[in-house]
Structure 1
Amino acid sequence: MKIIDLSKPIKNNKQDPWFMKVKIKHKPHKKAKWLIRFLGLPFKLFPKGFSGWADDTIQKMGVHSTTHIDAPWHYSPTTNGKKSKTIDEIPLEWCFGEGIVIDMKHKPDFEVITVKDIKTYLSKNKLALRENMIVLIKTGRDKFNGTKDFHKKGTGMSAEATEWLIDQGIKIMGIDAWGWDLPLPYLIKKAKETNDPELFWEAHLVGKNKEYCHMEQLVNLDALPLSGFKVAVFPLKIVGASAAPARVVAMLD
């Protein structure tokens, strides 16, 4: 079996905007020596060659800062009139399944992905969606991941395309762009220009009525075939959270 990592590295990156900053403190082995001594073990009883243990502290990292999966709670406090699931309430059965890549790299920045785009792609490549598949939208914008303009570039999903995928039995979907919708700064600008209150975050807000989860900031989708692989996307079990970082991987026989 070949395993392909679809998750970005979690590390300090000076280029990330403030809302994506990650800060990790790495503690060297020698610091633990003094902690162990303080806890009561004399140096003479340290195992031979033992220099202490390494340790690390995540000092700052939002649940949406890196490759992650959003829970329905992120989109709305209720889904179809019932309390939305937080990330610890997502059924694990949703998080492992047959994968399929929808290649939308041809879509220019700020042009939304439509139902027609997806249907045309599936027909052209003789692919079919099946219930509980994990759908990966490839835009190629992961090449900007780690740059200061990552969140300002790319295409994104329309509300109609998101709803259509859910109606095909898809519970988990993901994208290699910063967000699932068109870029946030662009949406704010267009909503103000058009005075249209339905424009902002339209794809996310499908989750008010139909339950689903999506991943953001995937990487390496170019390394995958169009189909014929499994995807695992198990989030950290953060109680009550709107999302969680996940080590997303694809498995090919």
Structure 2
Amino acid sequence: MKVIDLSKPVRHNSADPFFMRVSVKHKPHKAARLLVWILGLPWRLFPRDFVGWADDTIRMGVHATTHIDAPWHYGPVSAGARAQTIDEMPLERCVGPGVVLDLSHKDDDDPITVADLVAALARNGATLTEQTIVLIRTGRDALIDTRDYWQRGTGMSAAATEWLIDQGVTVMGIDQWGWDLPFRAQIAKSRATGDATLFWEAHRVGQRRPYWHMEQLVNLAALPPHGFEVAVFPLKIVGASAAPARVVAILR
């Protein structure tokens, strides 16, 4: 069995946009000694080899690193009912056969269409089912830790997202900063065309049809087109719109 990590490292990166930065504070072992003394253990009773325990504090948004979005992220209502939060994601949907659709040829700001997905699936040779977890490879994980990461990429169109759901797929992911086109491109296209339906169009599909998508995946180029399992277990944060997840592919 071979396990391939599809999750980016969780660490501070000053190149990330200010609203998505991660802060990690590593506390020294010795800091715990004072806490234990305050809790009531006299210094004379400390074990000779007790140097204290390491501890760490992380401050981050739930969308700041590799994560999976719940329908609640897209809006409070999905398919006419209260949208599910991340703690309500069925565990049986967190594991399934993986399929990689290679869209790495797509230019920045050029949205992924239904025709793109159909052609990629034909090249792949896989069959999509309700259990399939579809991974969209753009190759933009190469930009992680650069200032271009959140500013560049292709992105799923609403129609392409709907098409995946039509095939029964409700868990999907992408190896770039976001599921849609970069914010910069969405805003520019909306302003240029006057079309009020363009901004966040693929995310907003989830207001009509519940689905779950992962963002900021890595290493999709290391995977075969299909024939592997994907496991994605988000943190069980009650009421949250998303959660960081350690996403892995399992090849047997």
TM-score, scaled relative to structure 2: 0.98
Moved more, 122-131 or 191-200: 122-131
Aligned to 1:80: 79
Aligned to 1:235: 234
The alignment partner of 1:102 has SS state of: strand
The alignment partner of 1:156 has SS state of: coil
| CA distance in structure 1 between the partners assigned to 2:123 and 2:231 by the alignment | 27
Matched, 1:42 2:42: yes
Aligned to 2:165: 166
Aligned to 2:4: 4
Please identify runs of 4+ aligned residues in structure 1 that moved more than 3 A: none
Aligned to 1:211: 210
The alignment partner of 2:134 has SS state of: strand
Give 1:246 shift. 0.4
Aligned to 1:140: 139
| CA distance in structure 2 between the partners assigned to 1:86 and 1:17 by the alignment | 25
| CA distance in structure 2 between the partners assigned to 1:76 and 1:106 by the alignment | 32
Aligned to 1:57: 57
Aligned to 1:26: 26
Give 1:76 shift. 1.3
Look up the equivalent residue of 1:186 and give its one-letter code: A
Q: Can you give the 5+ residue segments of structure 2 that lack an aligned partner in the other structure?
A: none
- Cα deviation 1:142-181 (Å, max 9, x = unaligned): 0111211211101011111100101111110000011001
| CA distance in structure 2 between the partners assigned to 1:9 and 1:53 by the alignment | 23
Q: Does the CA-based 8 Å contact 2:124-2:226 persist in structure 1?
A: no
Aligned to 2:251: 252
- Cα deviation 1:35-91 (Å, max 9, x = unaligned): 111111122222231100011111x20010000000000111111110000111111
Q: Does the CA-based 8 Å contact 2:16-2:150 persist in structure 1?
A: no
Give 1:124 shift. 2.5
| CA distance in structure 1 between the partners assigned to 2:123 and 2:185 by the alignment | 31
Aligned length: 252
Aligned to 1:186: 185
Look up the equivalent residue of 2:73 and give its one-letter code: H
Look up the equivalent residue of 1:24 and give its one-letter code: V
The alignment partner of 2:37 has SS state of: helix
The alignment partner of 2:115 has SS state of: helix
Matched, 1:196 2:195: yes
Q: Does the CA-based 8 Å contact 2:70-2:86 persist in structure 1?
A: yes
Aligned to 2:148: 149
- Cα deviation 1:184-218 (Å, max 9, x = unaligned): 11101110111100111111111111110100000
Look up the equivalent residue of 1:27 and give its one-letter code: K
The alignment partner of 2:10 has SS state of: coil
Look up the equivalent residue of 2:245 and give its one-letter code: A
Q: Can you give the 5+ residue segments of structure 1 that lack an aligned partner in the other structure?
A: none
Q: Does the CA-based 8 Å contact 2:101-2:124 persist in structure 1?
A: no
Give 1:12 shift. 1.1
Look up the equivalent residue of 1:143 and give its one-letter code: A
Moved more, 43-52 or 235-244: 43-52
Look up the equivalent residue of 1:42 and give its one-letter code: P
